[in-house]
Amino acid sequence: TQLLEQSPQFLSIQEGENLTVYCNSSSVFSSLQWYRQEPGEGPVLLVTVVTGGEVKKLKRLTFQFGDARKDSSLHITAAQPGDTGLYLCAGAINSARQLTFGSGTQLTVLP
């Protein structure tokens, strides 16, 4: 059973469109992180959210942590081909230093 469920699993959109990726769990996380991974590379940290209801913006990317700290979303405005990649959410439970990753969302932005 996957602790963190991401949806959609695959997403293919045209340049300029908006999109939202979801990360859901039945567990409460002390913090949640979003990573982006390109082929042949390791994941790169985009953001960490720690407070329920927290919203963080990184240029065209908006990240939100659910009020109950069980879910998160990533919204991309006016997607560009450079946004193409595997988007991963990862959560830490309680004081554990172990990060549990979701199954990922493969995003393709077509020019």
Partner 1 sequence: DAGVTQSPTHLIKTRGQQVTLRCSPKSGHDTVSWYQQALGQGPQFIFQYYEEEERQRGNFPDRFSGHQFPNYSSELNVNALLLGDSALYLCASSTTQDRYYGYTFGSGTRLTVV
Q: Does 66 bind partner 1 (CB under 8 A)?
A: no
Asked if 76 contacts 63 with a C-beta cutoff of 8 angstroms, the reply is no
Question: Please, which residue, 41 or 77, has the CB nearer to partner 1?
Answer: 41
Query: According to the binding rule CB under 8 A, does residue 88 interact with partner 1?
Result: yes
Which residue of 24, 31, 62, 84 would you call a contact of partner 1, by CB under 8 A?
31
Q: Which of residues 7-26 bind partner 1 (CB under 8 A)?
A: none
Residues in contact with partner 1 by the rule CB under 8 A: 4, 6, 31, 33, 35, 40-45, 48, 50, 86, 88, 90, 92, 96-104, 106
